[in-house]
Amino acid sequence: MKLRVGFQLTYACTQATPAVLMMNTHPSMAQNVLEADRISFDPPLSFTHYYDAFDNLCTRIVTPSQGPLIVATEGVLDVPDMQETYPADGSQHPVESLPVDCLQFLLGSRYCETDLLSDTAWRLFSGVPAGRARVLAICDYVHGHIKFDYRFARPTRTAFEAHSEGIGVCRDYAHLAIALCRAMNIPARYCTGYISDVNLPPPYADQDFCAWFDAYLGGTWQTFDPRNNAPRTGRVLMARGRDAADVPISMTFGDADLIKFKVICEPHE
């Protein structure tokens, strides 16, 4: 299935401001790309690319000194037209046998306070069989515990706060599930990107960037989505890291306010 993804974001600029953007599809999606999502700027400006410690493609710019800046991209990917399925092996690895690069995803991070949620995790999930069954139980719990509401979105909300408040948006679902998994010695990493509405019944909400997480089970990173808590068709990764602090869509070092945005994720003929 061909899937068109992209966006148009408008920033209000009052001074020249350095920024780092993570707005392209992740390099791991390269084999799916039919038309590359090359980033563009209006007014035109110079930029450079680099890859961060999590292999995310990052773009460095300096915004104009005044006026709006429009950042846009559009690409086409070939993705499976079937709903997601899990690999056969969903076993949990003992900590001592985990690959070294997984260990950082067992630790607490800016938005995922494993120390504050450890007792809760073990009380709720120690009786669930280790492995995928435990991760799915965590997703079920988070999906039922948090009420989704854009009106109460807060960029500083942590996993512990999301659990205490019982409300949030997709990043809060992901952060809470990640923290609970890590507390149960399951490596988990934060993911952000596009999720299509293909194979879902209407009505459809306006598209937005979405968050989910990967858990390391059976020797592979496997995708889980506590916000939707159901398989989806057409999930496209943009960036991943320990939590949302590692993967902001845009990180500005000064004044540059996002004042308008439109996200595209739809079938392409």
Residue 118, domain CATH: 3.10.620.30
The radius of gyration of the chain's CA atoms, rounded to the nearest angstrom, is 19
pTM: 0.96
Query: For position 46, what pLDDT does the model report?
Result: 96
Query: Is the pLDDT at 51 greater than 90, yes or no?
Result: yes
**What is d(CA 114, CA 125) in angstroms, rounded to the nearest whole number?**
14
Query: 214 and 107, same structural domain?
Result: yes
The string of DSSP codes covering the chain is: -EEEEEEEEEEEESS--EEEE--SPPGGGGGGEEE----EEES----EEEE-TT--EEEEEE--SSEEEEEEEEEEEE--SS-----S--PPPPGGGS-GGGGGGGS-BTTB-HHHHHHHHHHHHTTSPTTHHHHHHHHHHHHHHSEE-GGG--TT--HHHHHHH-EE-HHHHHHHHHHHHHHTT--EEEEEEEE--TT-PSP-PPP--EEEEEEEETTEEEEE-TTT-S--S-EEEEEEESSGGG--SEEESS-EEEEEEEEEEEE--
Query: Is the pLDDT at 40 greater than 90, yes or no?
Result: yes
Query: For position 190, what pLDDT does the model report?
Result: 98
Query: Is the pLDDT at 203 greater than 90, yes or no?
Result: no
In the chain, % of residues over pLDDT 70? 100
Count of structural domains, the chain: 2
- Mean pLDDT confidence for 56-68: 96
Please report, for the domain that includes residue 43, its CATH number: 2.60.40.2250
**Is 24 within the bounds of a domain?**
yes
Q: Which domain holds residue 114?
A: 95-246
Query: 215 and 189, same structural domain?
Result: yes
Query: 254 and 240, same structural domain?
Result: no
**Is 87 within the bounds of a domain?**
no
- Mean pLDDT confidence for 31-51: 96
Query: 101 and 203, same structural domain?
Result: yes
**What is d(CA 28, CA 79) in angstroms, rounded to the nearest whole number?**
13
**Is 184 within the bounds of a domain?**
yes
Query: 117 and 7, same structural domain?
Result: no
Query: For position 269, what pLDDT does the model report?
Result: 82
Query: 227 and 111, same structural domain?
Result: yes
**Is 186 within the bounds of a domain?**
yes
Query: 18 and 135, same structural domain?
Result: no
Query: For position 206, what pLDDT does the model report?
Result: 84
- Mean pLDDT estimate for the chain: 96
**What is d(CA 193, CA 202) in angstroms, rounded to the nearest whole number?**
21
**Is 130 within the bounds of a domain?**
yes
Query: 263 and 216, same structural domain?
Result: no
Query: 219 and 120, same structural domain?
Result: yes
Token readout for 86 is 């899990």
Tell me the C-alpha to C-alpha distance, in Å, between residue 214 and each of 25, 85, 147, 198, 236.
17, 13, 22, 21, 13
Query: 71 and 56, same structural domain?
Result: yes
Residue 205 confidence class, pLDDT cut points 50, 70, 90? confident
Per residue in 99-128, pLDDT (tens digit) is 999 999 999 999 999 999 999 999 999 999
Query: For position 196, what pLDDT does the model report?
Result: 94
Per residue in 256-269, pLDDT (tens digit) is 999 999 999 999 98
Query: 253 and 238, same structural domain?
Result: no
**Is 88 within the bounds of a domain?**
no
Per residue in 138-194, pLDDT (tens digit) is 999 999 999 999 899 999 999 999 999 999 999 999 999 999 999 999 999 999 999
**Is 131 within the bounds of a domain?**
yes
Query: 60 and 113, same structural domain?
Result: no
**Is 32 within the bounds of a domain?**
yes
